[in-house]
Amino acid sequence: MTVKQAYVGMDLDTSGGSMVDAIISAIQEDNEGVIVEDFMVYKKVKAPGRMVLKRETVEEHFGADFDMDRVHIVMSSAFGFITDWDEEQLIIEWEDAE
């Protein structure tokens, strides 16, 4: 029997350069089972069921202060429900994931 995995995630515009790299590194550090697909002009970052992006982790990888509102600049789309987005974190999940 094949079990399908419901992924959540985002597409990030690669023109964001080091900011996109820091976001991806932070997602990989703070989540299990992360998959990154490179389509040259954008990168699809996905995780099974739930994805957390933490400001603090992005700052560690970016090497500078990071405002979570800057995610808007490089995120061209998201799949799943954005259940939390404030100055500390962004959470994308399927609402019935619990």
Structural domains in the chain, sorted by start: 7-93 (3.90.56.10)
pLDDT of residue 61: 99
How does pLDDT run across 29-78, given as a tens digit for each residue?
999 999 999 999 999 999 999 999 999 999 999 999 999 999 999 999 99
Half-sphere exposure (Cβ direction) of 18: Cα atoms closer than 13 Å: 7
Q: What angle do CA 7, 51, 48 make, to 5 degrees?
A: 30
- Give residue for tokens 């939390």: 84
75-79 and 35-38 beta bridge pairing: unpaired
Check residue 19 and give its pLDDT.
98
4 compared with 33, residue with greater pLDDT = 33
| Pair 37, 69: CB distance under 8 Å | no
Q: Is the pLDDT at 98 greater than 90, yes or no?
A: no
pLDDT at residue 84, as a whole number: 97
